[in-house]
Amino acid sequence: MTTLLAVGMALVVAGCLLLGLRRLRRRLVVITVQGMSMSPSFVHGERVLIRRGDPTRLCTGEVVVLEHPDSATQGEATGAGPQPGGRNWFIKRVAAVAGEPVPASVVRLNSMPGGSIVAPGEVVVLGEHPHSEDSKQWGSVPLDLVLGAVVRKL
């Protein structure tokens, strides 16, 4: 009887672990960086682990992966690049979140009025390379375009 109970408990534990791993797989994504827009922090060919989650919890300074804000005219991605599913993802650093002032570099190049504040449900992102495509061209980006935040390099 005890052996049967031990086998039953082992099956229950294994089932719980398997269910937990499936949930974890839905929350984690691996992206290969393409291009140099986040150089030197992330370079072409590096793989990064992304954690999907609530984009309203993003903080300034975090690195995120997001879809191009105008997917109809998207062109070549200079970030994470085309991935399975045919989407182009960009990797950028969060420069400001809702309620924070829009950085001066974005205001200057995007003809946003000085003293602008990031609207609720939006984020401002910047690449590290001086010629990266980011909020300087796009303006603020809706949070529903954010796939997730970078956890670490692989």
Residue 128, Ramachandran bin (φ over 0: left; ψ between -120 and 50: alpha; else beta): alpha
Which residue among the candidates 92, 132, 136, 140 is catalytic per the annotation? Answer: 92
- 48-94 pLDDT tens trace: 999 998 988 999 999 999 998 876 444 444 455 554 455 678 999 99
The pLDDT of residue 137 is above 70: yes
**Residue of 37, 132, 135, 140 with catalytic role:** 37
Whether 37 sits among the annotated catalytic residues: the reply is yes
For 9, counting Cβ atoms within 10 Å of its Cβ (0-12 exposed, 13-18 middle, 19+ buried), the class is exposed
| Residue 135 annotated among the catalytic residues of the structure | no
CATH number for the domain running over 27-153: 2.10.109.10
